[in-house]
Amino acid sequence: MKRIRGFASDNNAPVHPDIFRAMEQVNKGHVVGYGDDPYTVRATEKLSTLFGENAGVYFAFTGTATNVLGLSTALRSWESVICAETSHIHEDECGAPEKFTGGKLIPVEPVHGKLTPERISEHLYGFGFEHHSQPRIISFAQATETGTVYTLDEIREITGLAHKHGMVVHMDGARIANAAAYLNCTFREMVTDTGVDILSFGGTKNGMMYGEAVVILNPDLDKNFKYIRKQGMQLASKMRYIAAQFEAYLENDLWLKNARHANRMAQLLAKETSIIPGVTLVEEVQANGLFVKIPEKIIKPLQEEFFFYVMEGRNPLVRWMTSWDTTEKDIHDFSSLIKEMLT
Ligand SMILES: Cc1ncc(COP(=O)(O)O)c(C=O)c1O
């Protein structure tokens, strides 16, 4: 039988005990539903403060929802989103962005998982031409889907380009904590100060049970968002349980501790496996994911012991993710097994 503990996804890790405890602590008495409760007010303020005075914060359940709703606040059906071919919105959301916004995604071949101004610029045409879907949003993930992290300068280049063309920028921050830990910067420095307009702020992959938020930095895009969230079926009636998770997550920098740990484990995994002949890292390890080439013959037997995914269509490329609860023992056991299989 397959062992599920392994390196498949940070989604497979459990909820951090501090988060669980926080949910239990608010589990008493009646409070008003739909976010009109003191816990939600406090958690919203706490998250908002990390981005600056004007940040609009809206909690939701899933990362796909925050991406789709975040895009919805800026996109009309005749407009388009420039994104990486490898982006979650393009590859892994079952067409939800297109279905819910009616807009078009324009996938661009990334460089090390990232959009570049040059690649984006190839698609910046047709403005005002009624036959062409109007470029409106540039969307990218931080950290990227291949485990790399945009520098602050790279983000600024993208926001500068977007704003020059009257476009806006959406950041998919499903792993924003891992990116901030890697860059050693604040959320404000990475998002607000670089000019990002809309952020999907993720928590689930870094220790929460279900906790994501749309953070809107551009007040022009914030006016109708409460309606968009409700129509998008993400207004939680029992909001206090999401809020409690956020409070605990932001308290004493739990988010940073978890992300630093996951990143450190990824570095350790890279260090221990990259010296094994036959194992090749295809991207620099910056956040908590490794993209690796290993001989095809060991994939199945290795998966029997430690669960992980083969990247579809890119066989034999595999992905190994670490999480807040990965241990050094997990890494040593996994690396030793690979060594044994290859020598
Ligand atoms: C880059 C990225 N964005 C968004 C998501 C959100 O996913 P979900 O809707 O499963 O929470 C994920 C999940 O794997 C992801 O990797």
pLDDT in tens, 284-338: 999 999 999 999 999 999 999 999 999 876 667 999 999 999 999 999 999 999 9
- Peptide bond preceding 38 in cis form (omega within 30 of 0): no
**pLDDT of 3:** 73
64 lines ligand 1 (CB under 6 A): yes
Q: What is the average pLDDT score of the chain?
A: 97
Write out pLDDT tens, residues 246-292. 999 999 999 999 999 999 999 999 999 999 999 999 999 999 999 99
Give, using CA atoms, the residue closest to atom 5 of ligand 1. Answer: 63
Please, which residues have CB within 8 angstroms of residue 92's CB and are 6 or more apart in sequence? 64
Question: 288 C-alpha vs ligand 1 centroid, how far in Å?
Answer: 14
Closest by CA position to 83, among listed 36, 38, 145, 175: 145
CA distance 296 to 306: 15
Q: Which residues in the chain are classed under CATH 3.40.640.10?
A: 17-252
Cβ–Cβ < 8 Å for 230, 292: no
| Rounded distance from Cα 277 to ligand 1 centre (Å) | 32
pTM over 0.95: yes
Residue 32's SS3 state is: coil
| Residues forming CATH 3.90.1150.10 domain(s) in the chain | 254-342
The first and second tokens of residue 80, run together, are 């388009």
- pLDDT for 1 equals 52
Mutation pick for ligand 1 pocket among 64, 208, 309 (CB with most ligand atoms within 8 Å): 64
CATH 3.40.50.2020 assigned to 254-342: no
pLDDT at residue 314, rounded to an integer:
63
- Give the phi and the psi of residue 81 in degrees, each rounded to 5: -120, 125
Which letter, b or e, does each residue of 101-139 get, where b requires 16 or more Cβ atoms within 10 Å of its Cβ?
A: bebbbbbbebeebbbbeebbeeebeeeeeeeebbbbbbb
Q: Could you tell me which CATH number the domain at 17-252 has? A: 3.40.640.10
Instruction: Please tell me the distance between residue 64's alpha carbon and the centre of ligand 1 in angstroms.
Output: 6
How much is the average pLDDT of 184-213? 98
The label of the residue with tokens 């388009």 reads 80
